[in-house]
Amino acid sequence: MFKQCTRCGLSSAKERCPKCGAPMQATRKIAFLDAPGHETLMATVIAASSIMDGALFVIAANEKCPQPQTIEHLMILEAAGIKNVVIAQNKVDLVSRQQALEHYGQIREFLKGTPYGDAPIIPTAANSGGNLDALVSALLETIKSVPRAEGKARLLVARSFDVNKPGTPFEKLFGGIVGGSIVSGSFKVGEEVRILPGALRTHKGKEHYQELSTKITGIRVGDESLEEAKPGGLVALATTLDPALSGADSLVGSLLFAAKDEPPAVYSSFSLEITPLSRLLEKFSSSFASN
């Protein structure tokens, strides 16, 4: 939850203004997707990029910029069409003033010629909380709240999992959990919903998808339980689904919608153009080295 000072207007996440001590007033609630940096988890970043409104790009000041994964993440942001980006030049407390300035120049050079050439770069020391108020201000200024569509309830599934521990008695089992972002409409506890394309099945050696029907038994946003959820941020829906159907992110990529609504079209084939990430990385790295 981001807040703004009622007296001087400073933005922060604290209860009282770190500048003048006045009370803070809540202004916006933002959900963060922590994108893993390890190359084996890059698919997670790519899958989640479709539900992002903006990005906080963290670059370590005690490492030369760009690192290979820094280039990869930038390419993903650009490919996903994410326009609103704030750069956090973190760990400036671990380098000298001159090294921080040189590293700042490396970041600017790295961003030159990309859609993020003018993105704000905020020096921070996250462990000690240094300059985080400036970072919050930059996030609020750069990543604006986007209009949310009204109409039919639609949730893009970004996660699905089974919260039950092995050996849990049948009568104590919890239903499957589906998480993601609501892109239009709203969902309420007790509402009947459907999931398309649903669960992957195999029959006589052939794979096919089976539509799923279930009921919402709980809604959570972070540590908060809700009776109704609307677009914006990430939400987790507890359902009556057999947890075996939702385990291990097996429903990722599906669409959850109100059972009373007309189902969206489901296609069994499509055409797309693929550019290998490794090829883009090689091209970008060569271009940067030549400059």
At 191, which CATH number? 2.40.30.10
Q: Does 159 share its domain with 130?
A: no
**Same-domain status, 200 and 175:** yes
In this structure, what are the phi and psi dihedrals at residue 199, rounded to the nearest 5 degrees?
A: -90, 140
Domain contains 269: no
Sheet order of strands, 2-5 included = 11-12, 2-5, 24-28
Domain end call among 118, 142, 166: 142
The mean pLDDT value for 120-130 works out to 94
162 and 116 within one domain = no
Residues 128 and 35 in one domain: yes
pLDDT confidence band for 225 (50 / 70 / 90): very high
Question: Could you say which of 142, 174, 193 is where a domain stops?
Answer: 142
Based on the domain organization, do 130 and 172 belong to the same domain? no
Query: Left (φ > 0), alpha (ψ -120 to 50) or beta: where does 232 sit?
Result: left
Residue 11: how many other CB atoms lie within 10 Å: 22
pTM reported for the whole predicted model: 0.70
Residue 286 has pLDDT above 80, yes or no: no
184 and 253 housed in the same domain: yes
Residue 140, SS3?
helix
Percentages of the chain per state (helix, strand, coil), in multiples of 5: 30, 30, 40
Residue 23, domain member (yes or no)? no
- Same domain, yes or no: 165 and 252: yes
End-to-end CA, the chain? 41
- What size, in residues, is the chain? 291
Q: Is residue 284 part of a domain?
A: no
Would residue 111 count as lying in a domain?
yes
Number of compact structural domains in the chain: 2
User: How many CA atoms within 13 Å lie on the side-chain side of 175?
Assistant: 14
Query: 117 and 57 in one domain?
Result: yes
> 290 in a domain, yes or no?
no
Lowest mean pLDDT among 37-51, 118-132, 228-242, 276-290: 276-290
Residue 232 lies in a domain: yes
pLDDT(19) > 90: no
Question: In a 10 Å sphere around its CB, with 0-12 CB exposed, 13-18 middle and 19+ buried, how is residue 124 labelled?
Answer: buried
CB 49 within 8 A of CB 81: no
pLDDT of 6 above 80: yes
Quote the pLDDT of residue 278.
Answer: 61
Q: Are residues 160 and 254 in the same domain?
A: yes
**231 found inside a domain:** yes
CATH number at residue 90: 3.40.50.300
pLDDT of residue 178: 97
Residues 1 and 139: their CA atoms lie apart, in Å, by 12
The whole domain housing 72 covers 31-40+50-142
pLDDT score recorded for residue 64:
95
Residue 149 lies in a domain: no
Same domain, 54 and 116: yes
161 in the same domain as 251? yes
Q: Residue 245 contacts by C-beta under 8 Å, 6 or more apart in sequence?
A: 176, 199, 212, 251
